């Protein structure tokens, strides 16, 4: 197919229209507004027909790659299948038209979804109660840290201004801590990739608000010392925060609440199958242990004794973190997914995800450098090709994968390894898909030795080839107006 | 036990375990201490088939009331053309991740670039990011931006005429980030310039956030505010409904440094408050302080025009605790809704939406006053939303309307009742609502 290079603005022709609105029969009009409150220059939006719009965005979509297109082994992102029934449910006309400020008696069905999803997530994670208001994983982290701080502040414990974050943590962890007004203290990993308890010990004192952990961590390794870490952190008066980005391998197997975690967030767009949408909308519900429920942000859904649902707020809550009550459309999809799983199938999510990851690791570790030899969980990290004599980098390998119809893994993260390739297959991929991926990865490892140029200049078969990112950052062209002027 | 979302056969599992060199799936968790392995039954409902699942949600749907919406207060019942759900449901958009691999993400990158172009056009600003979670959190990020962009300042001012949820979210972020919040009083329904100037005397203000159309529906006159703030080395930040900006004076024209708001008004369903999409735009001098993703134009090895995530040195995955924001994603798919909506509407369609809303709102306003049951609160220009003093208690009024299927007369913190009319409302609906109101006694 020919490369489609249009922007919608380039299809525009003055006087063309793509909308249909009722005739205006009202007596009063915008001309009544005082001149100093009126816009002076018409906005240069496109003027296109309806079919122009449909063709344009259909053509653009053909240059995209989604989970429905092919295998997406993007580490830490849990790109599992997004069930179609969930889309249909979220699009049901009744829900679409509900105003967020409708009185509670008119939204009992909506509030029941909040309550039942809260209970289901609590059962799966071992927490006491959730807020479903956070919009994304990073937003959940921030909310969780606000709860952590609120807990200490409410106890008059004002000195606790530091939070411990492992060196392998997602970038959002330290950034969320900083936005929440906490100072980040880094704890090192052992050569085996887990938190170094001996490095942790001296950090613990009465200035520590808590620790943020991802378990399994970003190397896909279970933090085997978790019970000891929990005891130490609790012993110094701190709380344990669980970054749920890596919850998938534990679903049905173990619960963060049983490991001593006090606060956690989940990424419903990862573990609970809601589509990533090209970068959102997601949802980052935050669950807490029983002693922290009063600090969950407002507003909150409460189930009354008579079975009716109400929306309430309280003064000791960590405040308000969303305009209304989160991404309801995403919450519905996640709840639909949980109901399809039910108690019968939930136990297989983690084990099959873990099986898939270990299978790929074992099949490829003779071609790629495996820095830590261990049974991984949902993902694992290679440190580039085993034979790096030709100078082929992780970026080259990733770009070559695109030529073969696979999305690339996460690359250059975690920062512990210079050539990191982080692979997460998820439980929804079949052995045949994994075998196909493994064959291509082995083929690329061979190409690296036999025909390295082919890799350095990859990809060759994608809509566009490698981009000039340096110029993009040095001379930013961020709008059509910039483009027209450049 | 087979299940539609798990492709593994027993034979697959056996072969794969063999390759790994373990005997059972449990062995894959040998490193998880036994005392924290969960071996009990989960307290979850039984697995539902698709048929049962659909029935369950249909039952839940029936427990909600479908209302004719005559209110706004931060969520507006505008019309979304049929093209939007048809295109946004395409799985190439829906099931993709953040466009890190630009070579196979040109669809996402291109619509975000178009979205950025449209938002800057509407707001009259130079640049914007790839979208935010919602309006109130965008406002909180604007507060963080103002702190990062100014030196030795410790306060941010919020106008009393901002929506309460905007103030509350900003105040929450401010409390934990260590920013003091000051208030700007209103006078006759408009942010008071004198009150702003008094607050600026202390010299510690990083910026002030004021609405363009405020929570009373009034189109604010922001004359003199940019000058006052700039003289105090502080930023003017405007919270604006981007739909209205097609016809009313833009933040750019008021001299704003940063603007933000909720773009739910541009083609997104009400859906009980989310997903919506925030926007955040600024002058080009502040571009490197913007949170979140930004898409820029460039070219590929063959010289083809192409698009890519850019200016990433600002972001959390590079700067970690030194980043100004922890934002990692955007509301990408909702930005696509906005982009398609604005493509369809164009400048003329958006003007008509505003004209229809204005005409309907003013007719309702005048008819309500004519009943003798309501009094004017402010004599100021409004667009689609307005407040009145009601001689009937707000709760009585709201309940009476609710019984007949209308959502209207939401109560403000002052006890006024709030109404809103969009292009979806008809004269018949207005007259039906009035006939109910006329039967009420003060």
Of the candidates A435, A327, A417, the one whose C-alpha atom is nearest the C-alpha of residue A381 is A417
Record the tokens describing residue A147, joined without a space. Answer: 């709860």
Q: How distant is the Cα of B360 from the closest Cα of chain A, in angstroms?
A: 6
Answer whether A152 touches B (CB < 8 Å): no
Q: How distant is the Cα of B228 from the closest Cα of chain A, in angstroms?
A: 18
Boundary of a domain, candidates B340, B365, B396: B340
Q: Compute the mean pLDDT over every residue in chain B, rounded to the nearest whole number.
A: 96
Of the residues A3, A21, A66, A279, the best mutation for testing chain B's interface (the one with the most B CB atoms within 10 Å of its CB) is A279
SS3 of chain A: the string is: CCCCCCCHHHHCCCCCCCCCCCCCCCCCCHHHCCHHHECCCCCCCCCCCHHHHHHHHHHHHCCECCCCCCCCCECCCCCCCCCHHHHHHHCCHHHHCCCCCCCHHHEHHHHHHHHHHHHHHHHHHCCCEEECCCCCHHHHHHHHHHHHHHHHHHCCCCCCCEEEEECCCCCHHHHHHHHCCCEEEEECECCCCCECHHHHHHHCCCCEEEEEECCCCCCCCCCCCHHHHHHHHHHCCCEEEEEECCCHHHCCCECHHHHCCCEEEECCCCCCCCCCCCCCCCCCCEEECHHHHHHCCECEEEECCCCCEEEECCCCCCCECCCCCCCHHHHHHHHHHHHHHHHHHHHHHHHHHHHHHHHHHHHHCCCECCCCCCCCCCCEEEECECCCCCCCCHHHHHHHHHHCCCCCCEECCCCCCCCEEEECCCCCCCHHHHHHHHHHHHHHHHHHHHCHHHHHCCCCCCCCCCECHHHHHHCCCCCHHHHHHC
Q: Which residue has the tokens 């449901």?
A: B89
Contact assessment for residue A330 and residue A268, using Cβ atoms and an 8 Å cutoff: yes
Under CATH, which number does the domain A85-340 receive? 3.40.640.10
Residues 258-297 of B with CB under 8 A from A: 262, 269-277, 287, 293-297
Q: How distant is the Cα of B204 from the closest Cα of chain A, in angstroms?
A: 19
The DSSP H or E segment spanning B420 is strand B417-420
CB burial string A212-236: b at 16+ within 10 A, e below: bbbbbbbbbbbbbbbeebbebbeeb
Of the residues B23, B25, B88, B97, the best mutation for testing chain A's interface (the one with the most A CB atoms within 10 Å of its CB) is B97
Q: What is the pLDDT of residue A101?
A: 97
Q: What single-letter DSSP state applies at residue B350?
A: H
Q: Cβ A46–B94 below 8 Å, yes or no?
A: no
Boundary of a domain, candidates B288, B318, B340: B340
Q: Cβ A37–B248 below 8 Å, yes or no?
A: yes
Q: Cβ A430–B120 below 8 Å, yes or no?
A: no
Q: Cβ A476–B310 below 8 Å, yes or no?
A: yes
Partners of residue A141 in chain B, C-beta under 8 Å: 326
Q: What single-letter DSSP state applies at residue B205?
A: E
Q: Cβ A50–B306 below 8 Å, yes or no?
A: no
Residues 190-219 of A with CB under 8 A from B: none
Partners of residue B334 in chain A, C-beta under 8 Å: 277, 280-281
Residue A476 half-sphere exposure toward CB, CA atoms < 13 A:
21
Q: What single-letter DSSP state applies at residue B419?
A: E
Q: Both B336 and B392 in a single domain?
A: no
B59 found inside a domain:
no
Burial status of residue B301 (CB atoms within 10 A of its CB: 0-12, 13-18, 19 or more):
middle
Res. B262: pLDDT tops 80: yes
pLDDT tens column, A402-429: 999 999 999 998 888 999 999 999 999 9
Residues 17-56 of B with CB under 8 A from A: 17, 19-22, 25-26, 28-33, 35-38, 41-48, 50, 53-54, 56
Q: Both B392 and B431 in a single domain?
A: yes
Dihedral over Cα of A375, A380, A381, A385: its sign: positive
Q: Both B174 and B262 in a single domain?
A: yes
Q: Cβ A99–B47 below 8 Å, yes or no?
A: no
Partner residue facing A138 (CB), from B7, B118, B326: B326
pLDDT tens column, A182-239: 999 999 988 888 999 999 999 999 999 999 999 999 899 999 999 999 999 999 999 9
Of the candidates B73, B105, B71, the one whose C-alpha atom is nearest the C-alpha of residue B213 is B73
Answer whether A155 touches B (CB < 8 Å): no
Q: Both B315 and B394 in a single domain?
A: no
Q: Both B276 and B358 in a single domain?
A: no
Q: Cβ A323–B308 below 8 Å, yes or no?
A: no
Mean pLDDT value of segment B163-168: 98
% residues pLDDT > 70 (chain B): 100
CA distance A478 to B136: 24
B42 found inside a domain:
yes
Record the tokens describing residue A412, joined without a space. Answer: 């250059």
Q: What single-letter DSSP state applies at residue B13?
A: H
The DSSP H or E segment spanning B209 is strand B205-211
A486 confidence band (pLDDT: 50, 70, 90):
confident
Q: Both B296 and B359 in a single domain?
A: no
Q: Does domain A348-471 have CATH number 3.90.1150.10?
A: yes
B140 found inside a domain:
yes
Res. B318: pLDDT tops 80: no
The DSSP H or E segment spanning B55 is helix B50-62
pLDDT tens column, A22-44: 999 999 999 999 999 999 999 99
- Complex prediction ipTM: 0.97
CATH number of the domain at B360, please.
3.90.1150.10
Q: What single-letter DSSP state applies at residue B404?
A: T
Q: What is the pLDDT of residue B317?
A: 73
Q: Which distant-in-sequence residues (6+ apart) come within 8 Å of A23 by Cβ?
A: none
How many other C-beta atoms lie within 10 A of the C-beta of residue B40? 5
Q: Nearest 10 degrees: CA dihedral of B193, B198, B202, B206? A: -20
Residues 325-354 of B with CB under 8 A from A: 325-334, 336, 339-340, 342-354
- Coil, strand or helix: which one is B241? coil
Nearest C-alpha in B relative to A299:
B165
- The number of distinct structural domains making up chain B is 3
Q: What is the pLDDT of residue A2?
A: 80
Q: Cβ A340–B108 below 8 Å, yes or no?
A: no
B406 found inside a domain:
yes
Q: What global pTM score does this model have?
A: 0.97
Res. B343: pLDDT tops 90: yes
Strand partners, B420: B385
Nearest-5° angle of CA A172, CA A175, CA A178? 150
Q: Cβ B253–A39 below 8 Å, yes or no?
A: yes
Nearest C-alpha in A relative to B174:
A180
Q: Which distant-in-sequence residues (6+ apart) come within 8 Å of B241 by Cβ?
A: B76, B212, B213, B261, B262, B265
Q: Both B142 and B217 in a single domain?
A: yes
Q: Both B333 and B382 in a single domain?
A: no
pLDDT tens column, A436-452: 999 999 999 999 999 99
Partner residue facing A3 (CB), from B175, B304, B308: B304
Res. B1: pLDDT tops 70: no
Residues written for chain A: 486
Residues 218-257 of B with CB under 8 A from A: 219, 221, 223, 245-250, 253
Partners of residue A323 in chain B, C-beta under 8 Å: 74, 134-137, 165-166, 169, 262, 273-274, 276
Q: Number of residue pairs across A and B with CB atoms under 8 Å?
A: 689
Contact assessment for residue B69 and residue B77, using Cβ atoms and an 8 Å cutoff: yes
Q: Can you give the residue ranges of every domain in chain A?
A: 85-340, 348-471
CA distance B100 to B309: 7
B57 found inside a domain:
no
CA distance A112 to B59: 11
Q: Which domain holds residue B264?
A: 83-340
pLDDT tens column, A272-324: 999 999 999 999 999 999 999 999 999 999 999 999 999 999 999 999 999 99
B225 found inside a domain:
yes
Record the tokens describing residue A392, joined without a space. Answer: 């082929």
Q: Cβ B64–A297 below 8 Å, yes or no?
A: no
Q: Both B253 and B400 in a single domain?
A: no
Q: How far is CA B13 from the centre of its chain?
A: 46
Partners of residue B351 in chain A, C-beta under 8 Å: 30
Mean pLDDT value of segment A160-174: 92
**To 10 degrees, what angle do helices B164-177 and B135-149 make?**
40
Record the tokens describing residue B37, joined without a space. Answer: 């392995």
Res. B156: pLDDT tops 90: yes
Nearest-5° angle of CA A190, CA A195, CA A201? 105
Partners of residue B175 in chain A, C-beta under 8 Å: 319
Q: Cβ B103–A399 below 8 Å, yes or no?
A: yes
Q: Cβ A431–B15 below 8 Å, yes or no?
A: yes
CA distance B251 to B220: 11
Residues 192-211 of B with CB under 8 A from A: none
Nearest C-alpha in A relative to B18:
A359
B237 or B317: which leads in pLDDT: B237
Nearest C-alpha in A relative to B297:
A477
Q: Both B330 and B218 in a single domain?
A: yes
Q: Both B153 and B282 in a single domain?
A: yes
What are the two backbone dihedrals, phi and then psi, of residue B56, each rounded to the nearest 5 degrees?
-60, -45
Q: Both B353 and B334 in a single domain?
A: no
- Coil, strand or helix: which one is B258? strand
Q: What single-letter DSSP state applies at residue B292?
A: S
Burial status of residue B173 (CB atoms within 10 A of its CB: 0-12, 13-18, 19 or more):
buried
How many other C-beta atoms lie within 10 A of the C-beta of residue B190? 20
Partner residue facing B37 (CB), from A45, A108, A253: A253
- Beta pairing, strands A420-423 & B385-390: unpaired
Q: Cβ A109–B272 below 8 Å, yes or no?
A: no
């Amino acid at each position: 197919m020919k490369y489609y290079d249009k922007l919608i603005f380039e299809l525009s022709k003055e006087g063309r229209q793509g909308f249909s609105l009722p005739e205006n029969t009202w007596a009063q009009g915008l001309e009544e507004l005082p001149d100093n409150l009126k816009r002076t220059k018409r906005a240069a939006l496109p003027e296109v027909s309806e079919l122009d719009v449909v063709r344009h965005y259909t053509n653009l979509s053909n240059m995209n790659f989604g989970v429905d297109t092919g295998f997406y082994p993007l580490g830490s992102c849990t790109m599992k299948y997004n069930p179609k029934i969930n889309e249909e449910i979220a699009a049901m006309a009744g829900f679409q038209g509900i105003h967020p400020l409708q009185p509670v008696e008119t939204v009992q069905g909506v509030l029941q979804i909040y309550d039942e999803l809260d209970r289901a997530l609590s059962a799966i994670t071992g927490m006491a109660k959730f807020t479903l208001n956070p919009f994304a994983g990073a937003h959940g982290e921030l909310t969780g840290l606000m709860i952590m701080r609120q807990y200490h502040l409410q106890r008059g414990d004002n000195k606790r201004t530091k939070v411990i974050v492992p060196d392998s943590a997602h970038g959002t962890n330290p950034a969320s801590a900083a936005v929440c007004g906490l100072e980040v203290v880094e704890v090192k990993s052992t050569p085996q990739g887990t938190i170094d308890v001996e490095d942790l010990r001296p950090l613990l004192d009465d200035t520590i608000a808590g620790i943020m952990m991802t378990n399994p961590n970003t190397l896909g390794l279970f933090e085997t010392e978790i019970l000891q870490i929990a005891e130490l952190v609790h012993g110094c008066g701190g709380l344990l925060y669980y970054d749920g980005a890596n919850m998938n391998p534990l679903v049905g197997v173990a619960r963060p609440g049983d490991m001593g975690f006090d606060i956690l967030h989940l990424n419903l767009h990862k573990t609970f199958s809601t589509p990533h949408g090209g970068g959102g909308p997601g949802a980052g519900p935050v669950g807490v242990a029983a002693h922290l429920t009063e600090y969950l942000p407002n507003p909150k859904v409460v189930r009354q004794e008579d079975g009716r649902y109400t929306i309430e707020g309280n003064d000791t809550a960590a405040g308000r973190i969303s305009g209304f009550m989160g991404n309801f459309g995403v919450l519905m999809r996640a709840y639909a997914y949980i109901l399809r799983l039910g108690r019968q199938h939930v136990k297989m999510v983690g084990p099959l995800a873990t099986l898939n990851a270990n299978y790929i690791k074992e099949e490829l570790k003779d071609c790629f450098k495996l820095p830590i030899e261990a049974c991984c969980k949902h993902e694992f990290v290679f440190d580039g090709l085993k034979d790096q004599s030709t100078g082929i980098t992780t970026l080259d390998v990733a770009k070559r994968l695109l030529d073969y119809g696979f999305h690339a893994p996460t690359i250059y993260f975690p920062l512990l390894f210079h050539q990191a390739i982080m692979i997460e297959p998820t439980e929804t991929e079949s052995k045949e898909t994994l075998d196909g991926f493994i064959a291509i990865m082995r083929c690329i490892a061979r190409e690296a030795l036999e025909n390295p140029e082919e890799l350095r200049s990859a990809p060759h078969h994608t809509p566009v080839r490698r981009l000039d990112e340096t110029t993009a950052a040095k001379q930013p062209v961020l709008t059509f107006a910039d483009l027209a002027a450049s | 036990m087979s299940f539609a979302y798990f492709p593994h056969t027993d034979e697959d599992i056996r072969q794969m375990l063999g390759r790994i060199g373990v005997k059972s799936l449990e062995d894959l968790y040998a490193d998880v201490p036994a005392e924290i392995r969960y071996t009990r039954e989960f307290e979850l409902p039984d697995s539902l088939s698709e048929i049962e699942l659909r029935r369950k949600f249909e039952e839940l749907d029936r427990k909600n009331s479908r209302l004719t919406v005559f209110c706004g207060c931060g969520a507006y019942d505008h019309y979304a053309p049929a093209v939007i759900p048809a295109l946004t449901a395409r799985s190439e958009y829906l099931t993709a991740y953040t466009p890190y691999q630009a070579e196979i993400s040109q669809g996402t990158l291109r619509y975000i670039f178009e979205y950025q172009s449209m938002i800057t056009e509407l707001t009259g600003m130079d640049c914007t990011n790839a979208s935010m979670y919602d309006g109130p959190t965008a406002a909180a990020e604007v507060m963080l931006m103002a702190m990062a962009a100014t030196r030795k300042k410790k306060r941010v001012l919020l106008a009393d005429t901002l929506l309460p949820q905007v103030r509350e979210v900003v105040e929450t972020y401010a409390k934990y980030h260590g920013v003091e919040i000051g208030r700007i009083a209103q006078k006759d329904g408009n942010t008071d310039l004198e009150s702003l100037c008094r607050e600026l005397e202390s010299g510690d203000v990083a910026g002030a956030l004021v609405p363009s159309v405020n929570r009373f529906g009034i189109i604010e006159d922001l004359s003199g505010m940019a000058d006052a703030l700039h003289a105090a080395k502080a930023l003017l930040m405007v919270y604006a409904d981007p739909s209205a900006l097609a016809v009313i004076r833009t933040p750019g024209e008021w001299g704003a440094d940063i603007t933000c708001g909720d773009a739910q008004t541009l083609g997104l369903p009400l859906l009980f408050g989310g997903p919506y999409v925030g926007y955040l735009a600024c002058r080009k001098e502040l571009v490197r302080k913007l949170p979140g993703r930004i898409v820029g134009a460039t070219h590929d090895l063959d010289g083809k025009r192409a698009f890519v995530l850019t200016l990433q040195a600002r972001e959390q995955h590079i700067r970690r605790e030194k980043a100004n924001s922890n934002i990692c994603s955007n509301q990408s798919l909702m930005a696509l809704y906005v982009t398609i909506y604005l493509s369809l509407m164009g400048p003329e369609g958006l003007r008509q939406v505003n004209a229809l809303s204005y005409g309907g709102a003013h007719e309702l306003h005048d008819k309500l006053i004519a009943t003798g049951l309501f009094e004017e609160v402010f004599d100021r220009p409004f667009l689609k939303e307005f407040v009145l003093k009601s001689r009937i208690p707000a709760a009585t009024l709201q309940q009476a309307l609710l019984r007949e299927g209308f959502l209207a007369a939401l109560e403000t913190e002052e006890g006024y009742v709030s109404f809103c009319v969009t292009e979806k409302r008809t004269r018949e609906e207005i007259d039906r609502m009035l006939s109910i109101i006329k039967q009420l006694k003060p």
